[in-house]
Amino acid sequence: MAQPMRLVTWNINSLRLRLPRLEDLVTELAPDIICLQETKVPDPLFPEDAVRALGFEHLHYKGMKSYNGVAILSRHPITPLDNLPDWHGKEDCRHVGAVITTPSGPVELHDFYVPAGGDIPDPDANPKFAHKLAFVEEVTEWFEERKPARAILVGDLNIAPLEHDVWSHKQLLKIVSHTPPETERLNRWLETGFVDAMRHFIPPQEKLYTWWSYRNRDWEKSNRGRRLDHVWVTPDLVPSLTGMTVVREARNWTSPSDHVPVVVDFQF
DNA sequence: ATGGTGGCTTAGCCA
């Protein structure tokens, strides 16, 4: 008996500050699983009670003080993936994973927060950019060796790979998030065995963004967005995809994140 | 070409 499953990925930019927005999201979209990035909360301070009160009893998270942090919130039991690599030798809380149960069998779920990479797109001049490139290379190698089946990968990958994933391809080619060294590496990661589930629904020649900078007076009018958030699935799960929504209106919520949630629906 | 805003933690870092 097939069963629907609604998954949301969202860079929440501080879980504790934006708990009311998380509640809005749950009320409006009724997801089964939420993958968060930039929770910015150390594990001992994770607001477990508040999240459980929203109906998410099954939690797996990894956070630290001030920066980064990822979390998987689920209505149904999950099995956390232990022994995931400590990327780039840093314990900086950029990846969690779990196995979820569906009527058609287990599915492996990965939630990533890729380093933003600073401002200067030169690995020699900018260690943050070097870290970003190395992170993606390392993760790619890991997936290359593992070749997972029935897997979903989501998160803020901090790279907009396609021409129409940014408001101006030409103007952003030298801007971190859309430079060829980044987009080539992201494509290699994707090609370890995934399909871009967002572009499965929205053709690549159509503009599609998930992030609008705080630094624009009127984000909606200027509409200088980028698609930094992604949902990938292994080809065996493509037939289970039933829909995808970028929750653009979330950028106008009170005290919004600069990223909006992405919803993906499955029928398992 | 520059600086614009927001979050965490309190002046400076990171996005």
* Per-residue confidence (pLDDT) for residue A2, from 0 to 100: 86
Per-residue pLDDT reduced to its tens digit, A6-53 = 999 999 999 999 999 999 999 999 999 999 999 999 999 999 999 999
CA angle A88, A13, A263 (to 5 degrees): 95
Mean pLDDT of A122-142: 96
Distance A18 CA to B6 C1' (A): 13
* Per-residue confidence (pLDDT) for residue A3, from 0 to 100: 94
Chain B bases near protein CB atoms (7 A cut-off): 3-9, 12, 14-15
Distance A131 CA to B14 C1' (A): 14
The mean pLDDT of chain A is 97
- Identify which of A86, A175, A159 has the alpha carbon closest to the alpha carbon of residue A122: A175
* Per-residue confidence (pLDDT) for residue A246, from 0 to 100: 98
Catalytic sites of A, residue numbers: 113, 156, 259
Per-residue pLDDT reduced to its tens digit, A51-74 = 999 999 999 999 999 999 999 999
Instruction: Determine if strand B comes within 7 Å of the CB of A16.
Output: yes
**HEC per residue, chain A:** CCCEEEEEEEECCCCCCCHHHHHHHHHHHCCCEEEEECCCCCHHHCCHHHHHHCCCCEEEEECCCCCCCEEEEECCCEEECCCCCCHHHCCCCCEEEEEEEECCEEEEEEEEECCCCCCCCCCCCCHHHHHHHHHHHHHHHHHHHHCCCCEEEEEECCCCCCHHHECCHHHHCCCCCCCHHHHHHHHHHHCCCCEEHHHHHCCCCCCCCCEECCCCCCHHHHCCEECCEEEEECHHHHHHEEEEEECHHHHHCCCCCCECCEEEEEEC
User: Any idea which nucleotide's C1' is nearest the CA of A39?
Assistant: B7
What ranges do the domains of chain A cover?
4-267
Q: Can you give the pTM of this predicted structure?
A: 0.97
User: Any idea which nucleotide's C1' is nearest the CA of A16?
Assistant: B7
Burial class (CB in 10 A: 0-12, 13-18, 19+), A171: exposed
Instruction: Determine if strand B comes within 7 Å of the CB of A116.
Output: yes
Q: What's the rounded Cα separation, in Å, for the pair A241 and A219?
A: 30
The domain A4-267 having CATH identifier 3.60.10.10: the answer here is: yes
Distance A69 CA to B9 C1' (A): 17
* Per-residue confidence (pLDDT) for residue A255, from 0 to 100: 96
Per-residue pLDDT reduced to its tens digit, A204-247 = 999 999 999 999 989 999 999 999 999 999 999 999 999 999 99
* Per-residue confidence (pLDDT) for residue A88, from 0 to 100: 76
Per-residue pLDDT reduced to its tens digit, A28-37 = 999 999 999 9
* Per-residue confidence (pLDDT) for residue A67, from 0 to 100: 95
pLDDT at A172 > cutoff 90: yes
What phi and psi values does residue A169 have, to the nearest 5 degrees? Answer: -55, -45
In this complex, the residue with its CA at the shortest distance from the C1' of nucleotide B14 is A67
* Per-residue confidence (pLDDT) for residue A27, from 0 to 100: 97
pLDDT at A86 > cutoff 90: no
pLDDT at A1 > cutoff 80: no
